[in-house]
Structure 1
Amino acid sequence: MSRAKVIRVFEHQTLKAEPDSAFTLSHFSALEKYGYATKEKYFSVGNKRIKFSNYVGVIQVKNLTIEVLPKADFSECDNAAKNKWHDALISMLKECRLIKLENISNAKLKLRSASILDLYYESFLTETERIVRHGLRKSYRNVSENLKKVKGKILFTEHAQKNFLHKERFFVEHKVYDADTRLNQILLKALLILSSISNNPAFNNRVKKLLLYFEDVQEKNINSSWFDSLQFNRNTERYKEAITLAKLIILRYSPDLKGGREDILAILFDMNVLFENYVYRKLKVLEFNTSIPINRVREQNRIPFWESRGIRADIVIETDKGNFVVDTKWKVLKYDQPSDEDLKQMFVYNLHYNSDLSILLYPKTTQNTSTKKPFRNEEFQSRNCQIAFTDIFNDEGRLYKCLGMRIYSELLQDELL
């Protein structure tokens, strides 16, 4: 099996199918059906072209892996920019706990230069190998079957129906102790998916070895409801990370959309939500800094607004001097002017969260000439709104590790002094 080709595009960009390119008409045909099946949630379908939306991540179709990268500023779209945003996306996913890299060796982290999808595969296989080394979790389960001897209890209704002409048999129910559990069935399903779609020979060899440990586990059709009822305890906690990754693989997998072997696996995230969660986690650490007068940082705080409707601020910062609302916006703001709708929304946040200041926070681009710009209402002078821009990269082109402190010093410090 040939190794997968990797191409990188930015969100909102268009990928055109051409005969001599890595993205061919056969890839387009498969993604066209996937796009219609998902109601064009992740990308829109045009004439032999795909236009990506605000979702970022990775799509595998046949032998092609497409990385959809975030991009706050389209002034540069060369390979250096793609490498920069490729690493930034991985760091954001790690910070937001959407991918775990701690258990991957430094040598294997070189996979970053290949594909984000490889990192997910590597993480899942590493976690599953760790589980196998300690032994698959076993438990008791009820089994109903026809036997030539009584074992457990006889199910008389089924016995009468099935063994009317076979007096030597008994339809019984009994308990067995084995590894055929729901957790292991989920891992098996994810392994089988990888065995059918992975184009990496090293991964395929590891999958084959792991499947040997699941010979007594049944393959099941697994949907989202399987994961809703899962509960972990101290005996099954070691499965949690592997199950999280398996869930991504299983639920984002769309087999045979074209009727042939053109399976698609898409692991995509809404960049607006990812940026919001990333900023929240960076601000959250400020709670533990005793030199900063912040009491609490809360996210996604929904409160009643009118009848059954509510409003939800992205981030609420609580201090002794009052509350501050931060609403993140992952988009390029032209001329440093927010929309009327956004300003009205922030004014409502000020009233309902009893906030003296609400901030519309955008990633800084080459088009932004200032760090922040206030918008005041003469009638409500104590309820202020401002737009702000923060540079998420340092001088080396990497994400700021202390972004929360940077936002605090640029936007909040003067308000709290």
Structure 2
Amino acid sequence: MIRRSIREWERIGFGEGVEEIPDRIASGLAATAARSVFAGRGAEGVLEHGRHALRARGVVGIISTPDCQLEILPKIEATGEADTDDATLRRRLVHMLAVAHDLRIDTGSAAQLGWQRDTLLEILIRIFCGKLIDAVRHGMPRRYIEEEGDLPTLRGRLDVTRQFSTLVAQPQKLACRFDALSPDIALNQVMKAAVAKLSRLSQATDNQRSLRELGFAYADIASVPASALRWDRITLDRTNGRWRELVAWARLLLGNRFQQTSAGHVDGHALLFEMNALFEAYVARLARRALSGTPLTVSTQGGFAHCLYEGERGRFRTRPDIILRHEGQPVVVLDTKWKRIAPRIDDPKQGVSQADVYQLMAYSQLYDCDRVILLYPHHHGLSDDLIRDAFSVATPGSRNQLHVATMDIASGAAAGAIALAGLIRDLLTDGDLLVPFNR
């Protein structure tokens, strides 16, 4: 199988070279990508299929056909880091996924994950298998479920209706209804579905071996299609709380980011993540960590204020990425942008688009909030210091301020939370607005 890795927004040409893809295989990859939920109306939201090359867009992950596996990695660079190898980018992407989805990756085992030799898909499968095998060895969760049976002696309670209808001619049998402790519950069905799906996709020998072991462990659990899984029936409490993280892993691997497609004569699958959404979830999770213990609360994808009204009916409902509230009142609106901000020497506007500015000014008006932030990822083309620029809105010295800031994704979650806390503290302890904040 051909394996290729590229970065978001980069091109890979058609050809037979070691850094190219044969044209016939590129068509299959493009067809698989076009059926992704991220493809958009033009079906090129993941890959642009040009005459001479495929071009990745702002979606990362794995696109695979029987002949080829194309890995798209994000550009997550440390300060002063001009060229980053694929292993480092995989590690940083997995870190972002872990933070955004509240998943743990043990520091000790992280070094054994094959960052250099394997693709993102195999690394995620390896992490999931290791955690699931460990959990199964400690015991598979079970619950009492109601069962029915025609038994020679009474067990549980008698089903009177069935006894005197279906079994009226068989008095030696009793129609029983009883509770039995069973492992065939929604949680285990989800785990089996994840194991079954990954077994069809993994190519790494150690992952295949782990998945076979798990397949034997779940042999007696009912096979339920991923689309029919009853996530709502999963109950996590003190008796099975250690499975909470595994449910999150299964949701990640079985959710709408992972598609199995059939495009004409080409079968393929894709595990994809939209970087705009991932960056937003990552920042929101760090904001909650940073503001823990303060009077500020964090809400995501909320607000829902309307820009316009037609009579009493609102039009053009807004949904800011992140709103920070104090006693229910919005005090900061933060919008994340997975874009590469430009050094000031090249562009006085630093690549900040007018549309983004207008959007944040509208949020300030609609939510009666005089502090709004555009937050971008920091990258190697900028200076070592994070960007912290403040602009007065509409008039010089205005109370309303728009802040443009960057976050260093490569520095890790702890450093990111500290930097984010400092940014928010500086905004809210400046001028007339004063919110108690733990220093």
TM-score, normalised via structure 2 length: 0.73
Is there any run of 5+ residues in structure 1 with no aligned partner, and where?
Answer: none
- 1:327 matched to 2:341? The reply is no
Following TM superposition, by how much is the alpha carbon of 1:192 offset from its aligned partner in structure 2, in angstroms?
A: 1.8
User: Could you tell me how far apart the structure 1 residues matched to 2:268 and 2:173 are?
Assistant: 44
**1:1-400 aligned within 5 A:** 6-21=3-18, 23-25=21-23, 27-38=25-36, 40-41=39-40, 42-47=45-50, 49-62=53-66, 64-71=68-75, 80-97=84-101, 99-102=103-106, 105-111=109-115, 114-142=118-146, 155=162, 177-223=181-227, 226-251=230-255, 252-255=257-260, 257-258=262-263, 262-266=267-271, 268-288=272-292, 295-300=295-300, 301-305=302-306, 306=309, 307-309=313-315, 310-317=317-324, 323-333=331-341, 335-337=347-349, 338-365=352-379, 371-372=388-389, 374-378=391-395, 381-386=398-403, 388-390=404-406, 392=408, 398-399=411-412
User: Could you tell me how far apart the structure 2 residues matched to 1:248 and 1:283 are?
Assistant: 22
**Identity score, percent:** 18
CA gap 1:323/1:275 in 2 versus in 1, 3 angstroms: same
CA gap 1:258/1:168 in 2 versus in 1, 3 angstroms: farther
User: Could you tell me how far apart the structure 2 residues matched to 1:258 and 1:328 are?
Assistant: 34
User: Could you tell me how far apart the structure 2 residues matched to 1:325 and 1:215 are?
Assistant: 50
How many equivalent residue pairs? 398
User: Could you tell me how far apart the structure 1 residues matched to 2:268 and 2:202 are?
Assistant: 10
User: Could you tell me how far apart the structure 2 residues matched to 1:45 and 1:169 are?
Assistant: 71
User: Could you tell me how far apart the structure 2 residues matched to 1:379 and 1:236 are?
Assistant: 58
User: Could you tell me how far apart the structure 1 residues matched to 2:261 and 2:25 are?
Assistant: 13
Following TM superposition, by how much is the alpha carbon of 1:25 offset from its aligned partner in structure 2, in angstroms?
A: 5.0
Greater than 6 Å deviation, 4+ residue runs? 76-79, 147-152, 167-173, 319-322
Following TM superposition, by how much is the alpha carbon of 1:52 offset from its aligned partner in structure 2, in angstroms?
A: 2.6
Is there any run of 5+ residues in structure 2 with no aligned partner, and where?
Answer: 431-439
- What do the CA deviations read for 1:291-334 (whole angstroms, capped 9, x no partner)? xxx64152324143354453333333457999233222111345
User: Could you tell me how far apart the structure 2 residues matched to 1:157 and 1:265 are?
Assistant: 55
Question: Is residue 371–residue 427 contact of structure 2 (8 Å, CA) maintained in 1?
Answer: no
Which residue type is aligned with residue 136 of structure 2? Answer: V
Give the secondary structure class of the aligned counterpart of 2:235. coil
User: Could you tell me how far apart the structure 2 residues matched to 1:25 and 1:5 are?
Assistant: 13
Following TM superposition, by how much is the alpha carbon of 1:138 offset from its aligned partner in structure 2, in angstroms?
A: 2.9
**Comparing 194-203 with 237-246, which one deviates more in the overlay?**
237-246
CA gap 1:406/1:212 in 2 versus in 1, 3 angstroms: closer
Which residue type is aligned with residue 269 of structure 2? Answer: I
The structure where helix makes up a greater share of residues is 1
CA gap 1:240/1:18 in 2 versus in 1, 3 angstroms: farther
Question: Is residue 29–residue 63 contact of structure 2 (8 Å, CA) maintained in 1?
Answer: no
CA gap 1:355/1:51 in 2 versus in 1, 3 angstroms: same
